[in-house]
Amino acid sequence: MYSISATTKLICLLGSPVDHSISPAMHNAAFAALGLNYVYLAFDVRPGRFSDAATAGSQTGEDEGGKPPADFGSVQTALNALKLFDARGCNLTMPLKKAVIPYLDELSEAARLSGAVNTIVHENGRLTGHTTDGAGYIDALKKEDNFDINGKRLTILGAGGAAESIIVQAALDGAASIHVFKRKNSTYAATVNFAKKVTDTTNCAVTVSPMEDRNALKHSIAASDLLCNATNVGMGDDKRSLVPKSFFHRNLFVSDIIYHPEETTLLKDAKAAGCRCANGKYMLLYQGAAAFTLWTGQNMPVDIVKEKYF
Ligand code: NAP
């Protein structure tokens, strides 16, 4: 029987907000099922909340206007606490996925290429950063939908944190080509540089086009095996789809990493056009499963977790 004892090891989620996260429930259920002596807790940590100034004696760590100072002292403090408490590691969510990188000792190849970390493993005072979002996405496609990314041509909408993790992992896992569509705004040039870096490091050509170029989008989708929406468009009450219905074809697998709502307009339209479809809920499950293995060396009992929470 699983119970907390004096030797129970801590694993946690750091970020803000964390109160709606499913990760504690998921991981604690898996530890219990396997009888592993770990506990997973969530801690609200954000830059400036508990700054260097705060550690030096200030009451709140906030400046006089009530705005958090722009330093990252709280991030370093939280990571030092992981070492001090000999925690096994942590997950990271917004806004810490990039902010933690200067404080880590090592990075996995995927974390280095994507410039983001969602999982840290602690070993004898050394912290190694990994990103499992991309691996979770690809595992979900393979294990739940029997779709193997190897050799496939991809069109990806968006170039934010989740998109970059997916692009990197897909390129490392043998995707034939990846065409990214992103708004032509102030971060466009950075996405072009990111695509060049991934292309130079892997055997996969990653190209970028403006989201506004509908003709390029049409041709890219026509030549693709997989279309992935990794933007926020379609989330919550946002009922829009970035893809005209006429762009879908029967050989296209359409995935939306959004899972709320369960079926976005993009997925509704794609299903109506005869495409195979998947939403983002199993990406969430398998990114957790990949982190679980990094910490424990064991496979997460995904069927148990799935039955309880998905
Ligand atoms: P992010 O870093 O903020 O990136 C958001 C992306 O969406 C950016 O590329 C942004 O474009 C694009 N975008 C936003 N509004 C747009 C619009 N009106 N038109 C075109 N593009 C637009 O966020 P993220 O962390 O990558 O998350 C993106 C989505 O994935 C969210 O819905 C999130 O809930 C979901 N997600 C799911 C999982 C899962 O496990 N299933 C994991 C992580 C994230 P610009 O680059 O042009 O600003």
Are 17 and 300 contacting, i.e. CB atoms less than 8 angstroms apart? no
User: SS3 for 93?
Assistant: coil
Q: Which two tokens stand for residue 34?
A: 């396997």
Does the beta carbon of 266 sit less than 6 angstroms from any atom of ligand 1? Answer: no
Task: Give buried/exposed letters for 133-159 (b at 16+ CB in 10 A, else e).
Answer: bbbbbbbbbeebeebebeebbbbbbbb
Give me the DSSP letters along 213-265: -HHHHHHHHHT-SEEEE-SSTTSTT----SS-GGG--TT-EEEES--SSSS-H
Specify the residue with its C-alpha closest to ligand 1, atom 3: 160
What is the Cβ-side half-sphere exposure of residue 33, based on CA atoms within 13 angstroms?
18
User: Which residue's CA is minimally distant from atom 7 of ligand 1?
Assistant: 231
247: tokens are 């762009």
Please state whether the peptide bond connecting residue 210 to the residue before it is cis, i.e. omega within 30 degrees of 0: no
91, 94, 231, 284: residue to mutate for ligand 1 pocket, most atoms within 8 A of CB: 231
Q: Is the CB of 231 under 6 A from ligand 1?
A: yes
Query: What pLDDT is stored for residue 2 in this prediction?
Result: 66
**Residue 58, helix vs strand vs coil:** coil
Q: What is the pLDDT along the chain (310 residues), one digit of tens a residue?
A: 568 999 999 999 999 999 999 999 999 999 999 999 999 999 998 777 655 444 433 333 344 344 444 455 788 899 999 999 999 999 999 889 998 999 999 999 999 999 999 999 999 999 999 999 999 999 999 999 999 999 999 999 999 999 999 999 999 999 999 999 999 999 999 999 999 999 999 989 999 999 999 999 999 999 999 999 999 999 988 899 999 999 999 999 999 999 999 999 999 999 999 999 999 999 999 999 999 999 999 999 999 999 999 9
Among the atoms of ligand 1, which is closest to the Cα of residue 162? 26
Q: Is 15 left (phi over 0), alpha (psi -120 to 50) or beta?
A: left
- Prediction pTM value: 0.91
3-class state of residue 107 by DSSP: strand
Give the residue whose CA is nearest to atom 17 of ligand 1.
233
As a whole number of angstroms, the distance between CA 128 and CA 121 comes to: 5
End-to-end CA gap in the chain: 24
Question: What is the 71 CA–ligand 1 centroid distance (Å)?
Answer: 25
Cα separation, 209 vs 195, whole angstroms: 11
202 ligand 1 Cβ < 6 A: no
Active-site annotation, residues:
97
